[in-house]
Structures are given as structure tokens and as C-alpha cells.
A and B are shown apart, each in its own frame.
Chain A
Amino acid sequence: YAWDANEEYLFKAMMAFAMRRYSSKSTTQISNVLLCNVTDRVSFWFVVTDSSKNVTTVPGSEVEAAIRMNRNRINSAFLLSDKTLQFLKITSTISPPVEPSTPVWLIVFGVVLCLIVAGIVFLIFSGIQKHKKKNKEATERENLEEKVEVTLENGIPCEALDLKTGRINGVFAADDERFTSL
């Protein structure tokens, strides 16, 4: 926006406002703020007069303190910041950077660590389970092999002997009689 007489009026109003708030006496008027040496750069000198005390100027330290107290309001009135609206001889105090109660990085770190530990535990458990399954399979296979060996060693296939009814030995059961006749 361009700097014109209306902006100057606003500036005077802000200065009066700042003086009123600081010294809490409602006597400062806009007419008490005087601007001089306005340049194209938009830089100027200004003084605040005190109408109650015979047109003397308010000491610079008081004006400085008033501006310091209300810097925020002055800045926002002009949509400017400490850097773009400079009061020479008033250095701005730097606001401390916002620090959350727990550092953010610890939270992220905790999340990452939990995920990794969960992954490791899962992999170890699945490894142990696979190991157990392999062992079980190995022992089952061994048992099967033993059975096969045993049956082979005897020369007679065991499945034949597995019948519940048993086998009739042809030598001894020549006739159909199973029981000796009296």
C-alpha cells in the first residue's frame, strides 16, 4: 500500500494510543504527535508533546518504553513486522523459540524403535516356529522310516498284518473247521 496522509494519521493515532496505554492518562491526543522530515523512503522523525505541561516534548525514553509495550499492536496495525517497521534505537527482543514439553524427536524415535523391535520379535518367533515345525517333520519322517525298515526287515509287509480280523494260516486251517470237533 502507498504511504499517504491517511497512513500518517493512523501512525499518529497509534502513537497516541501507545502513550495512553503506557502512562494510563487519557490526555494524549492525535494532535500531540508531530511528524517531520518525511522522506520518500518512508522514514521520518516524530515527537510527542505533552499538552498538559505547556507544550514540552515527552522524554524519548518514555516514548521508547510505550512503543516497546505496544509493539505488536503497532506492527499489526500496519500489517508489518519488526523487520519492516523499524524504530531506530529500539532493538526488538527476540522471542524464544517454541519448545514443546517433550522434544518431538523423542516421540518419533520411540515410534521407530517400537516398530523395529516388533519386527525383530516377530521374525525371531517365526524363525523358532519354523525350526520347531522342521524338527517335528524330521522326527515324523524318521518314525515313518523306522516303520518301513521294521516291516521290510521282517520280510512281511506290516499292512497285511494290520488287519483286525487276523489272518488264517492255511496250514492249520485246512478245513473250514476252526474248532476241534469233540
Chain B
Amino acid sequence: LSAAAEIPKEDGRPQWDNKFQYLLSCIGFAVGLGNVWRFPYLCQIHGGGAFLIPYFIALLFEGIPLLHLELALGQCLRKGSIGAWNTISPYLGGIGVGSWVVSILVSLYYNTVLTWVMWYFINSFQEPLPWSVCPLNENRTGFNEECYESTAVNYFWYRKTLNITPDIAESGTLQWWLILCLATCWAIVYLCTIRGIETTGKAIYVTAIFPYLVLTIFLIQGLTLPGATEGLIYLFTPNLNTLKNPRVWLDAATQIFFSLSLAFGGLIAFASYNPTKNDCEKDAVTVAIVNSMTSLYASIPVFSVLGFKATTAYWDCLDRNIISIINEFDLPEESIMRQNYTSWISFLNSSYPEKISVLKLKSCDLQEFLDQSVSGTGLAFIVFTQAIILMPGSQAWAILFFIMLFSLGLSSMFGNIEGVFTPLLELQIIPKSAPKELLSGIICLISFLIALCFTLGSGSYWIDIFDRYAASVPLLVIAFFEVIGVMYIYKIKRFSKDVEWMTGRKLSIYWQITWRFMSPLLLLIVFLAFVTLQMQKPPSYTAWNPKYEGFPMKEEKVYPPWVQAICVLLAALPCVCVPLVALFHLVKQKRRSKDPSFVLPEVFSCQGANS
């Protein structure tokens, strides 16, 4: 692993067909499900338009510099994450190994989310949509009890899709329909990544561009729906008071960081297939800006649809009240309309208060319906599916929506798999004569077998755990070490010379300041704040328990100790790779230094090898 291997110009490394493919792959990797279901939620709960201020500050001082760093690193060293960090210094090889482990963990659970999307997709071809009606109970006298007490949409998600158990300790059985969909998803991933970037480069044209088309269609449709404007106003009305809450700044920083898919090693892998004389600075800025613009663009149709749903729920509430009033007072049909409801109610309250109180009317408040904010899988599979039922031509909308989610997730999966695939290819796990298809096949097969755990009854609880612990803290740690490693061990002077050689211009002061001070500082603060917040309360989860008294509210439960141990393991495993590998090399060095024939590794330089 000595750096004496000078990289020849013709090293037989696969290349991107064109620059556009590379940019699309990076954009596709960065733009994922989080842009659709996390950013709008954050905008909503953190004061609407005001959230954009901390968001763009974080983008400027944390997102773009780190992105540029990773792309420049991969492009210069022309290796995947493990190889690249080993080349910089064997002591830093642990960073690459940590990235690789995180990529594996995330690939496992991310594809299961895509499995759920696929399940909903193939169920969207029915008329009526299966999540719009409750099934009947055994003796056909009424609806299924669990479905009746919650909603049909909730029932379809928790019972028909997940078949969820009431507790994480109860594993339940493997759900065969989910296994079929999981196999299909991994087959699709294998089909697209079968030869590395040769095949993903072709697939990315579809999976990266298609979501934008669908978002535009949803935008046009969403804006024509009644109540869309209420939703949009609610979303974008800035409430500058929220900026005083440090939680908002933390959420902005973490959102930018996770949204750009930094520290996975996938970006390094993508950039390593570039020719070295490529303007990585412009690429980084382009990818970051497109990612943020996509988040904004996606939040418009999402909030139009949510506004539509809230308005429809509000109207339903009003209509139910109106029917009961008309029935009670025997008033002619259409005497009370939604518009004059409030005046009628005040009139009736003053004249016949006892009759009104008997009716037990629910108070209908549009704000209350708009306030029901959800993020994550709840947004896509519960709230949005409910809104789609209300739209005319719901099958088409459902199909479009789920294909869009699938493409978004698939293009992110390409980056994850590339982060696993490229280092393995370079470590030459399989002999060189064996085809690449074999390695990608092995990766997909093993991942499929391990991911079968997520198709158990308690699978979605485990996915939440993976999402919260494996894909959050380790990434922050790895990114922090990345910046420190490049700036202070590889040394900023060498790196700026390399970047100048690659881009052809001098490194501006903005990069110097952010790389050296602002980004590591921000990462440290975010990491500490994140960990402190997590430690404040014992880790808990909400379980779907039909036997709970407060059903259909979810039951708040605490993780049992063995699950907590697994959480800690997941978070610690990638982080611990960094010091472990450094220690391993230290020991090796001590042993080697006793050997007189030991030769010091040569100093590696990006431009020196390629000039």
C-alpha cells in the first residue's frame, strides 16, 4: 500500500461517457427521498420561509466546502474511499473503511424503504385503490375493527404492508409479499449496477431526470387543487421568531449535511472515474445548488397537496356538522352551506343551546388540520396516499407518485452501492480475471439475504433505528476526520496545489477559510449538539398497538437494553474504524522499524503522478 505506485495515464480505469453523466450521478445521489419528505417538514415546523436563512448559511459554510473536498479528493487520487485514504496516509485508512461500513449499513435499509415504495406502486393498479376502503370483518356486519378505529390508509400501511408487531422485541414472521418486493428491488439494483458506472451511467439518465418531470406534473396539478394556496401560504409565511431557537440551526446544518450524502464514500468513488483535469470546484457548487433548489421545488407540490388535504378534511368536518344540524332541526336541504356555517352556528347556539350541545359537534379549524405535520414514511405512505384518493384519476397519480419516489431512491442507491463496490474492486477481493458482474452479484445477493430481517413484523422499527443511529452520528464523525485529515495531515498547501492543477485556477480565500476553520468547527458543534440532544432522553419509539387504550394514537415505548446496545454498536462501528486502523498501522510500523530493510513510503502528489 506504499504510495510509490505512480498512477500511469492509461490505467484502464472505467470512465464516464461524458461530463453530464457524472454530474447527473452526483445530483441523483444527493437528491433522494429526504428532499421530498424531510425538507418540507422542516420548513413547516421551523417557521416557513425563515428556515431558508439557516439553511443557506449552512449550505455556504458546510455543504459546499465539504462537497468540493470530497470531489477533489476522489478526482485527484482516482481511487475509491478506502484506496484514497490509504494513499494519503495509511493511518487515515480507517476513514475510508468507516465510509465503506456506513455505505453498507445504509444500502441495507434504504433498499427496504424502496421495497415499500414498490409494494405501493404495484398496488396502485387497482380500482378502487386498496388503501381507500376498509375491509369487512368476518361476519360482514361492519368494517374491520382495527381499520374502523384508525383510517383505511393507516390500516393498509400498518397491517397490510408492514404487518407490524406491537413491540420491537416481538419479531413476528417474515412477510412473503415484502420478500418478493425486496427481491425485485435488489434485482433492479443489480441490473443497474451490474458493471459499475458503465451501467449506472446509462440508468441515471432515466432515474435522475424522471423525478423532475413528475414533480412538475404534480406542481401543475397541485396548484389547481382547492386549498393549495392555503397550504403554500402556511408553508412559506416566514416566522422570524423561530430563528432564536438553536434547534432550528441544528436541524438546518444536519439537513444540509445528510441531504448532500457526504461522507458515504460514494462521491469519492464517482469523482475517481473522472479525468484529472476537471473543474471539480464548479461541479461541487453546481451539485449543491441543484440539490437545494430541488428541495425547494419539491416542497411546492408537497405543500399544495397537503393544503388540499387539510382543506378537504376541514370541509368534511363542516359537512358532517351541517348534516347533523339539518337532521336535527329539519331544515330544508342546502339551507346551511359552508360559507354561512359560522353565522348559523352562532344563531343556533344563542337560540337553542341545549339542542346544539346534544349534537356534540366537532369544532372544525383549518389551522388545526394544516398543523398536522408529518415527515418521513408517514408523509408518503399515509398523508399523501390519503390525498391521492381525493384527487380525480387517483390511480394515475398514485402510479406517478410512487415511480417518482422509486427513481429518487434508486439514484441514491447507485451512489451507496458505488461506495461499496469501488473499494472492493480495488482491494481485489475477487481475482482480476473474474468479471465485474460477479462482484456486484455477490454484493447484491448478500445484501438481500441480510435485508430479509427488515421484512419481519418488527422490520420498520429496525429501519428507524438504522436511520437514526447508523446514518447520522458516524457520518458527522467521518466528515470531521476527512476535513482534518486533508487539511492538517495531507497539508492544505499540497492540496491547494493539487486543486489548482486540476481546475486550472487559484484556490479562492473562501475555500481556504471554510476548509481550515469553518467546516471542522461547524461539524464539531453539530456533532456535540446532536449527541447531547440524543442523550437527553432515553431512546424511545412509537409503536402501533391495536390493543393500546389510546389507539389510534401510537404508543410511546422505550427500547429494551439489548436494542439500545445494538444502537450504540451501529453508531460506534464506523467511527471506531478510524482509530483502529490507525492503531493497527502504528503497531505494524513499530514492528517494521526494527527491520533494516524497511523503506519509507514515497510522498504522493496528485499532479506529480499525472504530469
On A, residues with C-beta under 8 Å from B are 39-43, 93-94, 96-97, 104-105, 108-109, 112-113, 116-117, 119-120, 123-124, 127-128, 131
Within 8 Å CB of B188, what residues of A? 116
Q: Can you report 28 residue pairs joining A to B where beta carbons are below 8 Å apart? A: A41-B326, A41-B331, A42-B333, A93-B140, A93-B141, A94-B136, A94-B142, A94-B143, A96-B140, A97-B135, A97-B136, A104-B125, A104-B126, A109-B122, A109-B181, A112-B184, A113-B184, A116-B184, A116-B191, A120-B190, A120-B191, A120-B194, A123-B194, A123-B199, A124-B437, A127-B194, A127-B437, A128-B435
Within 8 Å CB of B133, what residues of A? 97
B187→A117 contact, CB < 8 A: yes
B123→A105 contact, CB < 8 A: yes
Within 8 Å CB of A105, what residues of B? 119, 122-123, 125-126
Within 8 Å CB of A108, what residues of B? 122, 125
A124→B194 contact, CB < 8 A: yes
Within 8 Å CB of B333, what residues of A? 41-42
Among A93, A94, A117, which residue has the most Cβ atoms of chain B within 10 A?
A: A94
Within 8 Å CB of B332, what residues of A? 40-42
- Shortest beta-carbon contacts, A-B, top 8: A40-B332, A108-B122, A39-B330, A41-B330, A105-B122, A104-B126, A116-B187, A105-B123
**B534 adjacent to chain A (CB < 8 Å):** no
Give the size range of B's interface with the partner.
20 to 34
Within 8 Å CB of A96, what residues of B? 136, 140
Within 8 Å CB of A120, what residues of B? 187, 190-191, 194
**B180 adjacent to chain A (CB < 8 Å):** yes
A42 to B334, CA, bound (A): 12
**B195 adjacent to chain A (CB < 8 Å):** yes
Closest residue of chain A to B180 (Cβ to Cβ) is: A109
Closest residue of chain B to A40 (Cβ to Cβ) is: B332
On B, residues with C-beta under 8 Å from A are 119, 122-123, 125-126, 128, 133, 135-136, 140-143, 180-181, 184, 187-188, 190-191, 194-195, 199, 326-327, 330-333, 435, 437
A108 to B327, CA, bound (A): 46
Within 8 Å CB of A93, what residues of B? 140-141
Where chain A touches its partner, the secondary structure class is: helix
Given contacts A104-B126, A128-B435, 14 further A-B contacts (CB under 8 A): A39-B330, A40-B331, A40-B332, A41-B330, A96-B140, A97-B128, A97-B136, A105-B126, A109-B180, A116-B184, A120-B190, A124-B194, A124-B437, A127-B437
A4 to B194, CA, bound (A): 73
A41 to B143, CA, bound (A): 30
A40→B435 contact, CB < 8 A: no
- Give min CB distance, B395 to chain A, whole Å: 11
- Give min CB distance, A158 to chain B, whole Å: 31
A156 to B331, CA, bound (A): 116
Q: A109-B122, A109-B180, A120-B194 are in contact. Are A41 and B140 (CB under 8 A)?
A: no
Within 8 Å CB of B199, what residues of A? 123
A72 to B126, CA, bound (A): 26
- Partner among A41, A43, A94, A127 whose Cβ is within 8 Å of the Cβ of B435: A127
- Partner among B119, B191, B435 whose Cβ is within 8 Å of the Cβ of A131: B435
- Give min CB distance, B435 to chain A, whole Å: 6
A74 to B136, CA, bound (A): 25
A117 to B135, CA, bound (A): 34
Within 8 Å CB of B140, what residues of A? 93-94, 96
Within 8 Å CB of B331, what residues of A? 40-41
A153 to B141, CA, bound (A): 97
A96 to B137, CA, bound (A): 10
Within 8 Å CB of A131, what residues of B? 435
A118 to B141, CA, bound (A): 47
- Give min CB distance, A103 to chain B, whole Å: 8
A113→B195 contact, CB < 8 A: no
A45 to B327, CA, bound (A): 14
- Give min CB distance, B122 to chain A, whole Å: 4
A96 to B187, CA, bound (A): 37
Closest residue of chain A to B135 (Cβ to Cβ) is: A97
Closest residue of chain B to A100 (Cβ to Cβ) is: B126
Closest residue of chain B to A94 (Cβ to Cβ) is: B136
- Partner among B123, B128, B141, B330 whose Cβ is within 8 Å of the Cβ of A40: B330
B191→A119 contact, CB < 8 A: yes
A40 to B326, CA, bound (A): 10
A178 to B140, CA, bound (A): 114
- Give min CB distance, B189 to chain A, whole Å: 10
- Give min CB distance, A109 to chain B, whole Å: 5
Closest residue of chain B to A107 (Cβ to Cβ) is: B125
Q: A94-B136, A96-B140, A109-B184 are in contact. Are A41 and B126 (CB under 8 A)?
A: no
Within 8 Å CB of B135, what residues of A? 97
A113 to B187, CA, bound (A): 8
- Give min CB distance, B153 to chain A, whole Å: 15
Within 8 Å CB of B136, what residues of A? 94, 96-97
- Give min CB distance, B336 to chain A, whole Å: 11
Within 8 Å CB of B326, what residues of A? 41
Within 8 Å CB of A127, what residues of B? 194-195, 435, 437
- Give min CB distance, B332 to chain A, whole Å: 4
Within 8 Å CB of A41, what residues of B? 326-327, 330-333
A131 to B438, CA, bound (A): 13
Closest residue of chain A to B130 (Cβ to Cβ) is: A105
- Give min CB distance, B564 to chain A, whole Å: 37
Within 8 Å CB of A104, what residues of B? 123, 125-126
Closest residue of chain B to A131 (Cβ to Cβ) is: B435
A112→B122 contact, CB < 8 A: yes
Within 8 Å CB of A112, what residues of B? 122, 184
A62 to B123, CA, bound (A): 44
Closest residue of chain A to B199 (Cβ to Cβ) is: A123
A114 to B331, CA, bound (A): 60
A113 to B122, CA, bound (A): 11
Within 8 Å CB of B128, what residues of A? 97
Closest residue of chain B to A120 (Cβ to Cβ) is: B191
A124 to B136, CA, bound (A): 47
A123→B191 contact, CB < 8 A: yes
Among A96, A117, A119, A128, which residue has the most Cβ atoms of chain B within 10 A?
A: A119
Within 8 Å CB of B437, what residues of A? 123-124, 127
Closest residue of chain A to B190 (Cβ to Cβ) is: A120
- Give min CB distance, B165 to chain A, whole Å: 23
Within 8 Å CB of B143, what residues of A? 94
Closest residue of chain A to B436 (Cβ to Cβ) is: A127
